[in-house]
Structure 1
Amino acid sequence: MEKSDNIIMMPFEPKRPYQELGLVLRQELIDGRYKVGDRLPPERDIAERLNVSRTVVREAIIMLELENLVEVKKGSGVYVLNIPSHSNSRENVISDDAGPFEMLQARQLLESNIAEFAAIQVTPGDIVKMRAALDLERSEIASGAEECIGDEQFHMCIAEATQNSVLVDMLKQSWERREQSPMWKKLHSHIIDQAYRQEWLEDHARILAAMQRKDPIAAKNAMWQHLENVKQRLLELSDIDDPNFDGYLFSSNPVVLLGGEK
């Protein structure tokens, strides 16, 4: 990420990658790089300019949105709503919430290993509970219910199959943190299409099949891939850029001349 030679007073000490980027963008607002009503560059250009991933940019935009500094218009882009009064103001700063994609990465590491161990420890009774959770998930999807109780229940059943209460508590804390997260809620506020839930149900069915076979490697891989699918789908569904906006086309997609073309 670009560094400045000037010493800038930050409103808080960044603990997470998205916070560091969010403070850079915040400072650019203060410095007059953008005016109220301006559209920020597409995420891909911010990511390229500051050498960060798209997920970090997405989280930084959510941070600024929660601070009421920008407004997200689905399919159009991010527009400047307000300019911070000065760089060391703490007003409205969301300073200690984990980003949704950082949470997913942690879950991916934790739950893939939980699934591996659960496949070794699993009992017929555990399998019955997992099937019941999938049945609940199917009925919720079929009825169009907003609740995702079956989804959470399925993941908890896998943790419980490890017969390790510490792992169960760790997963419970992960889900509770997600449900209480303003960042997570704001990300989901931009997602309208719920068809992805059927895809995740199919992922769960593959995890269950590995559990039934008591195959720890397959269970670990299936859980890892499931949470990778979740991450990618959420990134796609919450995309806020205008797909037809090509104002930054050349900096985003430089033309590579092949075969000696001039």
Structure 2
Amino acid sequence: MGISRKKIYEEIADLIMQDIKDGVLNPGDQLPSITRMAEHYQVSSASIREALNTLSVMDVIEVKHGQGSYIKERMPLGFEHEFQIITRKDIENLLDLRKIIEVGCVELACSHADEEDLGRMQDALGKMRTAVMNNELGEQADYEFHMAIAQSTGNQMLVDLLGDVSEKMLETMKETRRIWLYEEKKSIQKIFDEHQAIYRAIAEKDSGNATGAMMRHLEEVATVLLKQHK
């Protein structure tokens, strides 16, 4: 079968993901060799490698050197069905909670953050910048940045509240970055820039810009995730 739309490797990745959704490929299955896939799709081996790299970054497949490529045992949120871990209602509830807590946190951070707090935020931003350079998702650094903001408020209850939903926060951060990376509607660089804008507003003690930047960021996250969970 020939491939003509989009970039070739994106089309190949789409076809593989559709096979996962349709149950043609299941968690744990090994994909055919690059040579066989290139022959099947009538494309170059380089295009197959790009498609596999994209799916690997999205955490859909695992490439085992010397063994081949395998469908992950645990699928990302957007591809889960009966084994789905987080439901649409979970996502809605989590994002509502994050908006209420984190917009308040960033406002408090503007008046409470000291040099040590700002240093923690900068450290997290540094890790996010490294993730951008390495074409990685960087969800752990994302989480650390948001927690650093909560810690800077000096209110342990706010820190504990975010800590209580840390697992779901990390999973939704990872899923958002996967979707943005694959669909190319936003780049990982753009996500980094959004966080940097939040940091600058806190450092400048500009609560208006800080709360606005945080709300815009969380609303975009909500739009992306809920679109995948209709």
Q: Structure 1-normalised TM-score?
A: 0.49
Alpha-carbon distance, 1:98 to partner: 4.3
> What whole-Å deviation, never above 9, does each CA across 1:219-251 have from its counterpart, x for those lacking one?
212111111122223456x489xxxxxxxxxxx
Does residue 115 of structure 1 match 2:106?
yes
1:68-147 to 2 correspondences below 5 Å: 98-147=89-138
Alignment match, 1:200: 191
Alignment match, 2:82: 67
Which consecutive residues of structure 1, in runs of 5 or more, have no partner in the other structure? 1-36, 38-61, 69-92, 241-262
Alpha-carbon distance, 1:127 to partner: 1.1
Q: Structure 2-normalised TM-score?
A: 0.55
Match of 1:160 among 147, 151, 154: 151
Q: Label 1:219 to 1:99 Cα distance change in 2 as closer, same or farther (>3 A).
A: same
Question: Which structure ranks higher in relative contact order (CA pairs < 8 Å, sequence separation ≥ 6)?
Answer: 1
More helix by share: 2
Q: Helix, strand or coil for the counterpart of 1:145?
A: coil
Does the 8 A contact of 2:177 with 2:188 survive in 1? no
Aligned residues: 152
Question: Which one-letter code corresponds to 1:142 in the other structure?
Answer: M
1:215-226 to 2 correspondences below 5 Å: 215-226=206-217
Alpha-carbon distance, 1:216 to partner: 2.0
Alpha-carbon distance, 1:178 to partner: 3.6
Distance across 1 between alignment mates of 2:212 and 2:86: 34
Does residue 211 of structure 1 match 2:202?
yes
Q: Helix, strand or coil for the counterpart of 1:132?
A: helix
Does the 8 A contact of 1:119 with 1:216 survive in 2? yes
Does the 8 A contact of 1:200 with 1:230 survive in 2? no
Alpha-carbon distance, 1:108 to partner: 1.3
Q: Label 1:100 to 1:115 Cα distance change in 2 as closer, same or farther (>3 A).
A: same
Alignment match, 2:38: none
Alignment match, 2:164: 173
Q: Label 1:177 to 1:186 Cα distance change in 2 as closer, same or farther (>3 A).
A: closer
Does the 8 A contact of 1:210 with 1:218 survive in 2? yes
Percent identity reads: 28
Does the 8 A contact of 2:105 with 2:149 survive in 1? yes
Distance across 1 between alignment mates of 2:188 and 2:109: 24
Question: Which one-letter code corresponds to 1:221 in the other structure?
Answer: G
Distance across 1 between alignment mates of 2:217 and 2:173: 21
Tell me the C-alpha RMSD between the 2 structures: 3.6
Alpha-carbon distance, 1:66 to partner: 2.9
